[in-house]
Amino acid sequence: MEEFFAQYPRFHYDKTVPVWDEFRLLCKHQKWDKKSYEMRQARRKFKDAMISEFGRIYGNDNTSLSSWQKLCRVLRIRPVPDDIDACRKKVSSVHVNLVDLVDCQRTGKRIRIFPSLEALQQYTKSREKFFPRDEAKAQGPLRYLLREIL
C-alpha cells in the first residue's frame, strides 16, 4: 500500500488507518469526481495494491503450509491444522471481509468473523468495503476466501 500512496507525495498517508478510509481521504484531497478518469485509474491501481498487500501479508503460494497456518491463526481457527488440505477446508468455511483482513495487520484490530454469507454481504455493502474479486481469483489462499457479495 505504501507504494500506491507514495504516488501522491502531497497526501499525508497514515499506514495505521484502514485502507479504504485512506483511499477516500486521498480522493477528497485530490478533488477527484467519482466518475473522473483520474479517479477510475487510481481506483484500479488501488485494487491492485490491495491484492499485492494481501499476498505480502498472507502469501500467494497455495503450497506453503506456513502461509495457510498464518491465515488460520488470524481467522482464529483452532486448532490450526497440520496440513494444507485441512487448512484450505477450514479457511473456505469462514466468512470475512477481505479489506478488513488486510487492515487487521495494519490497525492491530481483531478480524470480524461473520456467522453467514448474508451477514458478510450486508456488512460489505453497507460499508462499501469491496475487495477486487475478479482480479484476485488466481491468488493462492486468497481465492478460498472470495465470496459472492453482489
Q: Do 94 and 73 contact (CB within 8 A), yes or no?
A: no
Residues of the chain with pLDDT under 50: none
- pLDDT score at 124: 94
Tell me how far CA of residue 107 lies from CA of 15, 16, 53, 124, 137, in angstroms: 8, 5, 14, 18, 25
Write down the pTM of the prediction: 0.87
The CB-based long-range contact list for 40-49 (8 Å cut-off, 24+ gap) reads 45/4, 45/7, 46/4, 46/19, 47/131, 47/132, 47/135, 48/132, 48/135, 49/1, 49/3, 49/4
Locus of grid cell 505504501: 2
> Angle 37-58/19-30 helices, nearest 10 degrees?
160
- pLDDT score at 134: 65
Delimit the domains of the chain by residue range: 2-144
Q: Do 98 and 147 contact (CB within 8 A), yes or no?
A: no
Farthest CA pair distance, the chain: 50
- pLDDT score at 135: 60
pLDDT tens-digit map of 28-57: 999 999 889 999 999 999 988 988 898 889
Residue 74 CB coordination number (10 Å): 16
